Chains A and B, each alone.
Chain A
Amino acid sequence: NAGVMQNPRHLVRRRGQEARLRCSPMKGHSHVYWYRQLPEEGLKFMVYLQKENIIDESGMPKERFSAEFPKEGPSILRIQQVVRGDSAAYFCASSREQGKPQHFGDGTRLSIL
């Protein structure tokens, strides 16, 4: 999965803390997508961003979750006041254009104690 870089690979937080997940898209890609995967399930769409714009956040929980993709720097998925149910693998993908295959990073495994 060279190209889309996610960090950290593993993140442990206590309930009530904040989690910040970072994603740098492939070179030349300006479309970024975040997905969440629970154990034994497929990926679930969360949010789609282009540089400085949130295009679709229909898959994001209404509270505590936010995402950004600034003009400079990586895309950030931020989870405030984490709860046990936020434990999951969070994957970021990027594409050159909308409708083209999305290429994924290796994910961030978030564990909530």
Chain B
Amino acid sequence: DQQVKQNSPSLSVQEGRISILNCDYTNSMFDYFLWYKKYPAEGPTFLISISSIKDKNEDGRFTVFLNKSAKHLSLHIVPSQPGDSAVYFCAASADSNYQLIWGAGTKLIIKP
């Protein structure tokens, strides 16, 4: 039972363009969402989060959009840079709880 789904295992984007990573969830109790980036042989690095009371949060090149009615969130990276090549995980929790439920990840490849 996958409560958090990242349906694209990989995504290839030209350097300088916008990268859009998508995440869908099924549990309507989720109220806090996070994006993490992970390089091989390293732990996930926190990127950006959003609470369900908002529909957008921005931090530099990273913007997260939340559509509660569609149970969908997306991460936009603009402009994309070579160092952005990594696996991106979407995670969610209920009641701002500690137990993060993770998607399977999307591998982002930035082409020069």
**In chain A between 71 and 113, which residues have their CB closer than 8 angstroms to a CB of chain B?**
91, 93, 95, 98-99, 101-107
A-B contact count (CB 8 A): 64
Interface residue? A40 (CB, 8 A): yes
Residue of A42, A91, A104, A106 ringed by the most chain B CB atoms within 10 A: A42
> Is A104 in contact with B43, judged by CB distance below 8 angstroms?
yes
Least CB distance from A3 to B in Å reads: 10
Please choose the segment from B64-72, B78-86, B91-99 that sits at the chain A interface, where 4 or more of its residues have CB less than 8 A away. B91-99
Say how far B69's CB is from chain A's closest CB, in angstroms.
24
With an 8 Å Cβ cutoff, the count of chain B residues facing the other chain is 23
CB of A41 within 8 Å of the partner chain:
yes
Among B45, B99, B102, contact of A1 (Cβ-Cβ < 8 Å): B45
Q: How many of chain A's residues touch chain B, expressed as a range?
A: 20 to 34
Q: B residues within 8 Å of A by Cβ?
A: 4, 32, 34, 36, 41-46, 49, 89, 91, 96-105
The residues of A with any CB-CB pair to B shorter than 8 Å are 1, 4, 6, 31, 33, 35, 40-45, 48, 55-56, 58-59, 91, 93, 95, 98-99, 101-107
